[in-house]
Structure 1
Amino acid sequence: MITILNEVKSLGVFVAYDVVYGVDNTRYTSQLEEEINRIVEEIRGALSLETLKDHHIIRAYRDFYWKTLKIDPTKQRPAQEALLRRVLRGESLPRINPVVDAGNAISIKYIVPIGLYDISKIHGKTLRIRLSRKGEVFHPIGGQPHELDDQIVLASNDQILHVYPYRDSVETKIDVSTKDVLIVVAGVPGVEEERLINATLHLRRLLSLLGGVADGDVRLA
């Protein structure tokens, strides 16, 4: 389902991805709540706000922002770092809906950015990670539509799902009506494939608590 074009693969971009069908995203289960709370407490015991920036995985994503994306990661933080900082300050994880909350919990546990997409809203079955084309417009969650300029994107033929590896589109966002979910865990140089695979498998298990059933093995691209 996902291929990475050579123009982007040369930058060290890679992903693990999975498809989970049949989730019930209308209500939280006690098991899911317990798992999310357990992960939050585990993270608070394992990491500290003062040393987070020196963690080798955080460092890898920050370096990718600086060197490849030309983004200052202290101003536009990697998504998982922003969530971790919130938790380590004693705040709760944001509560949006069960699927997204499960994704956020796994994101902080494995320190990787996770994109979640409603399959029913995706145009077509083939997705590519590539550079954006002149004139393409992105519709971010929580932001205004804007034209992209030579950025790494996850896209179908006529739809931008994600600006890599930090912002998702409102067009394919997860909501309470979502049944079938595409999981994409974004990798950068210095992050091992096994971490992405384990994060994907763990999220698959959490979504099974919402009735979700995975489609085959976790795939890498």
Structure 2
Amino acid sequence: MRFRHADAIWSAHPLLAAGALHADGIDGTADVRVRVEEYTSRARERLAGGSESQFPEVLAWRRAFARMGLRPTQYRCASESLLRRLRKEGTLPRIHPVVDLCNAISVAYAVPVAVLDADRITGPLLEVRPAHGDEEYTTFDGRTEHPAPGEVTYADSAGRAHARRWTSRQSGHSAVGDRTRRILVVTEALHDGAADTVARTLETIARELAAHWPVTPETTLIDALDREFTLEETPQVS
């Protein structure tokens, strides 16, 4: 299966930098609490100096959302939402060791990190692109939604949408759970210095996954010149 951003995304967001990771051998047994606390502590220290809304990483996504016709205070990128929750509540929700670890790394670097169950994606292509309007998105409570035409989503070859409003909200269909074994992780950024931040974020995720699970993550940095990441073909899921 291939993962890529459509030409329309690169045209509209030429400063985009992204990274993708594939790992096989994940389960829900690893104890990541110490590492989660370390990364969330880094984020708390930064938040002590000012609100997440002023972080360059977040401001870049707010500008992108505004250009897409979205109110940035109504629809936030995933990292801003997590940072906001961390600032208000002092902690992040516990969901699954892989998700908890990636959420903590996301707030530490202030960039969105999406973690998808790779076996819940229908190949041969997962593409970040403007929606046609007929894609199906499954909420976490099982409802079906259809992204508006032009809304940026992660769309697979079966027409299933795995995100709403690009980096705002993931799909319940491909959410990591107890049965997850293979994951696709994507991190994206738009700020000045995005390529360096994405590289460090991806390196950190790969190192932590390898330290907690018997996996050898495959990683690729994605930019306007090198736009695709290829991982092993996933089973077709209805």
Same fold (TM over 0.5): yes
Structure 1 CA distance for aligned equivalents of residues 163 and 214 of structure 2:
23
CA distances 1:85-135 after superposition (whole Å, capped 9, x unpaired): 222234211100101101100110110111111111111132212111132
Q: 1:143–1:151: structure 2 CA closer, same or farther, 3 Å change rule?
A: farther
1:71 aligned onto 2:70 = yes
Structure 1 CA distance for aligned equivalents of residues 115 and 71 of structure 2:
25
Is the partner of 1:104 in helix, strand or coil? helix
Deviation at 1:14, TM superposition (A): 4.4
* Paired residues for 1:12-27 under 5 Å: 12=13, 13-25=16-28, 27=29
Structure 2 CA distance for aligned equivalents of residues 118 and 212 of structure 1:
17
* Paired residues for 1:66-215 under 5 Å: 66-68=66-68, 70-142=69-141, 144-149=143-148, 150-158=150-158, 159-163=160-164, 164-188=166-190, 190=192, 192-215=194-217
Asked whether the equivalents of residues 60 and 190 of structure 2 are also in contact (C-alpha less than 8 Å), the reply is: yes
Q: 1:155–1:92: structure 2 CA closer, same or farther, 3 Å change rule?
A: same
- Counterpart amino acid of residue 65 in structure 1: F
RMSD over aligned CA atoms reads 2.0
Is the partner of 1:75 in helix, strand or coil? coil
Q: Which moved more, 1:9-18 or 1:170-179?
A: 9-18
Q: 1:84–1:170: structure 2 CA closer, same or farther, 3 Å change rule?
A: same
Is the partner of 1:117 in helix, strand or coil? strand
Deviation at 1:212, TM superposition (A): 4.3
Structure 2 CA distance for aligned equivalents of residues 217 and 146 of structure 1:
31
Is the partner of 2:179 in helix, strand or coil? coil
Q: 1:75–1:212: structure 2 CA closer, same or farther, 3 Å change rule?
A: farther
TM-score (norm 1): 0.89
Asked whether the equivalents of residues 140 and 167 of structure 1 are also in contact (C-alpha less than 8 Å), the reply is: no
Runs of 4+ in 1 over 6 A off after TM superposition: none
1:57 aligned onto 2:60 = no
Is the partner of 1:63 in helix, strand or coil? helix
TM-score (norm 2): 0.83
Asked whether the equivalents of residues 21 and 217 of structure 2 are also in contact (C-alpha less than 8 Å), the reply is: yes
> Alignment length, in residue pairs?
217
- Counterpart amino acid of residue 8 in structure 1: I
Q: 1:180–1:111: structure 2 CA closer, same or farther, 3 Å change rule?
A: same
Question: Sequence identity of aligned pairs in percent?
Answer: 22
Asked whether the equivalents of residues 24 and 183 of structure 2 are also in contact (C-alpha less than 8 Å), the reply is: yes
- Counterpart amino acid of residue 173 in structure 1: A
Structure 2 CA distance for aligned equivalents of residues 50 and 3 of structure 1:
34
- Counterpart amino acid of residue 169 in structure 2: R
Residue segments in structure 1 that go unaligned for 5+ positions in a row: none
Asked whether the equivalents of residues 49 and 85 of structure 1 are also in contact (C-alpha less than 8 Å), the reply is: no
Deviation at 1:189, TM superposition (A): 5.3
Q: 1:5–1:48: structure 2 CA closer, same or farther, 3 Å change rule?
A: same
